[in-house]
């Protein structure tokens, strides 16, 4: 059931990116998909780092770096999926 829900959510996002004419609304849609990836990146990095480092300060620093890395990666991937704007320019090309 989770796989179906994920597929439907992804499909709705793709349709929204394809048919929304305003760049600001596309950015908002992309940020709605990037936000959970940020939380997941933080949580995953924090879990791994907790096994390797005793210092809570360094755990947090590395977890934030992991969250930023996952966020940037998700943002770039989603902007690559967005249809180009009316001027023929996308946010990212690749």
Q: How far apart are CA 48 and CA 20, in angstroms?
A: 39
Which pLDDT score is estimated for 84?
A: 61
Summarised one tens digit per residue, pLDDT across range 7-52 is 888 888 888 888 888 888 888 988 988 999 999 999 999 999 999 9
Q: How far apart are CA 22 and CA 24, in angstroms?
A: 6
Which pLDDT score is estimated for 87?
A: 46
Report the predicted TM-score, pTM, of the whole model to 2 decimal places: 0.73
Mean pLDDT score of the chain: 85
């Amino acid at each position: 059931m989770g796989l179906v829900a994920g597929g439907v959510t992804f499909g709705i996002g793709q349709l929204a990116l394809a048919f929304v004419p305003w760049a600001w609304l596309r950015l908002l849609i992309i940020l709605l998909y990037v936000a959970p990836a940020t939380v997941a990146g933080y949580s995953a990095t924090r879990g791994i780092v907790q096994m390797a480092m005793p210092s809570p300060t360094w755990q947090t620093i590395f977890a934030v770096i992991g969250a930023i890395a996952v966020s940037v990666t998700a943002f770039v991937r989603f902007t690559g999926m967005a249809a180009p704007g009316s001027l023929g320019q996308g946010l990212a090309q690749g």
